A and B are shown apart, each in its own frame.
Chain A
Amino acid sequence: MIKKYGILINLVFILVVLVIAILIDIPKGPNLRIGSFFREFKIHRGLDLQGGTSLLYIADLSKISEKERSQAIEGAIDIIRKRVDGLGVTEPVIQATSIGDKQGIIVELPGIQNVEEAIKLLGETAQLKFITENGQEVLTGKELRRASLAFSPAGGGQSLPEVNLEFNDEGREKFATATKENLGKRIIVILDNQIITAPVVQSVITDGRARITGNFTVEEARKLTLQLNSGALPVPLTLAEQRNIGATLGDKPLKESAIAGLLGILLVMLFMVIHYKLPGLLANIALVIYTAIVLALFKFIPVTLTLAGVAGFILSVGMAVDANILIFERMREELRKGKILTVAIEDGFRRAWSSIRDSNVSSIITCLILIWFGSGSVRGFAVTLLIGILVSMFSAIYVSRVFLRLAAKNNKVANLLRI
Chain B
Amino acid sequence: MNFVKNRLYFYILSLLIIIPGIIALFLFGLRLGLDFTGGAMIELAWQGDLQTEEAVKEIQSIGKKEILVQSAGEKAVIVKIASKNQEEAKNLAEEIKKNLAKKATSIEEKNFALVGPTVSKNLQTKSIKAVILASLGIIFYIAFAFRKVEKPASPWRFGIAAIIALIHDLLVVLGIFAILGRFFAWAELDAMFITALLTVLGFSVHDTIVVFDRIRENLRLYPQKPFEEVVNSSLLQTLSRSINTSLVVIITLLALFILGGETIKGFILALLIGIISGTYSSIFNASLLIVSWQKFIEKRALKKSGDL
Q: Which chain A residues have a beta carbon within 8 Å of chain B's beta carbons? A: 48, 56, 58, 99-100, 102, 115, 239-246, 248-249, 252-253, 256-257, 259-261, 263-265, 267-268, 271, 275, 307-308, 310-311, 314-315, 317-319, 321-322, 325-326, 329, 333, 351, 354-355, 358-363, 365-367, 369-370, 372-374, 376-378, 381-382, 385
Asked if B114 and A311 sit within 8 Å, CB to CB, the answer is no
Bitwise interface map of B from 158 to 192 toward A, beta carbon under 8 Å scored 1, else 0: 00000000000000000000000000000000011
Which of B119, B195, B247 has its CB near the most chain A CB atoms (within 10 A)? Answer: B195
Asked if B119 and A240 sit within 8 Å, CB to CB, the answer is yes
- Chain B residues whose CB sits within 8 angstroms of the CB of A385 once the complex forms: 199
- Chain B residues whose CB sits within 8 angstroms of the CB of A373 once the complex forms: 126-127, 129-130, 194, 198
Asked if A99 and B213 sit within 8 Å, CB to CB, the answer is no
Given contacts A325-B241, A377-B191, A378-B194, contact A359 B210 (CB under 8 A): yes
- Chain A residues whose CB sits within 8 angstroms of the CB of B268 once the complex forms: 311
Asked if B213 and A246 sit within 8 Å, CB to CB, the answer is no
Name A241's contact: one of B116, B205, B238, B271 (CB within 8 Å).
B116
Asked if A257 and B127 sit within 8 Å, CB to CB, the answer is no
Asked if A264 and B116 sit within 8 Å, CB to CB, the answer is no
- Chain B residues whose CB sits within 8 angstroms of the CB of A370 once the complex forms: 130, 195, 198-199
Q: B201 at the A/B interface (Cβ < 8 Å)?
A: yes
Asked if B195 and A252 sit within 8 Å, CB to CB, the answer is no
- Chain A residues whose CB sits within 8 angstroms of the CB of B125 once the complex forms: 100
CB distance from B259 to the nearest CB of A (A): 4
Kindly count the residue-residue contacts between A and B in the assembled complex, taking CB atoms under 8 Å apart.
213
- Chain A residues whose CB sits within 8 angstroms of the CB of B253 once the complex forms: 264, 314-315, 318
Asked if A243 and B114 sit within 8 Å, CB to CB, the answer is yes
| Cα-based distance from A99 to B126 in the complex (angstroms) | 9
Asked if A365 and B138 sit within 8 Å, CB to CB, the answer is yes
| Cα-based distance from A262 to B110 in the complex (angstroms) | 28
Which of B45, B115, B244 has its CB near the most chain A CB atoms (within 10 A)? Answer: B244
Q: B308 at the A/B interface (Cβ < 8 Å)?
A: no
Given contacts A268-B251, A355-B210, contact A362 B260 (CB under 8 A): no
Asked if B267 and A365 sit within 8 Å, CB to CB, the answer is no
CB distance from A356 to the nearest CB of B (A): 9
Q: B261 at the A/B interface (Cβ < 8 Å)?
A: yes
Q: B61 at the A/B interface (Cβ < 8 Å)?
A: no
Bitwise interface map of B from 201 to 220 toward A, beta carbon under 8 Å scored 1, else 0: 11101110110011001000
| Cα-based distance from A374 to B192 in the complex (angstroms) | 9
Asked if B255 and A264 sit within 8 Å, CB to CB, the answer is yes
| Cα-based distance from A263 to B214 in the complex (angstroms) | 33
Asked if A244 and B113 sit within 8 Å, CB to CB, the answer is yes
Asked if B116 and A239 sit within 8 Å, CB to CB, the answer is yes
Asked if A361 and B141 sit within 8 Å, CB to CB, the answer is yes
Closest to A372 in B: B130
Which of B245, B248, B251, B264 has its CB near the most chain A CB atoms (within 10 A)? Answer: B248
- Chain B residues whose CB sits within 8 angstroms of the CB of A362 once the complex forms: 138, 141-142, 202, 205-206, 209
CB distance from A184 to the nearest CB of B (A): 44
CB distance from A259 to the nearest CB of B (A): 6
Q: Which of B241-297 contact A (CB under 8 A)?
A: 241, 244-245, 247-249, 251-256, 258-261, 263-264, 267-268, 271
Asked if B245 and A311 sit within 8 Å, CB to CB, the answer is no
CB distance from A368 to the nearest CB of B (A): 8
| Cα-based distance from A154 to B245 in the complex (angstroms) | 84
Name the 4 nearest CB pairs between A and B, nearest first: A366-B202, A264-B252, A318-B249, A246-B110
| Cα-based distance from A310 to B108 in the complex (angstroms) | 28
CB distance from A7 to the nearest CB of B (A): 27
Asked if B205 and A308 sit within 8 Å, CB to CB, the answer is no
| Cα-based distance from A376 to B145 in the complex (angstroms) | 33
- Chain A residues whose CB sits within 8 angstroms of the CB of B88 once the complex forms: none
| Cα-based distance from A314 to B192 in the complex (angstroms) | 16
Q: B137 at the A/B interface (Cβ < 8 Å)?
A: yes
Asked if B267 and A267 sit within 8 Å, CB to CB, the answer is no
CB distance from B136 to the nearest CB of A (A): 10
Asked if B240 and A329 sit within 8 Å, CB to CB, the answer is yes
| Cα-based distance from A329 to B116 in the complex (angstroms) | 51
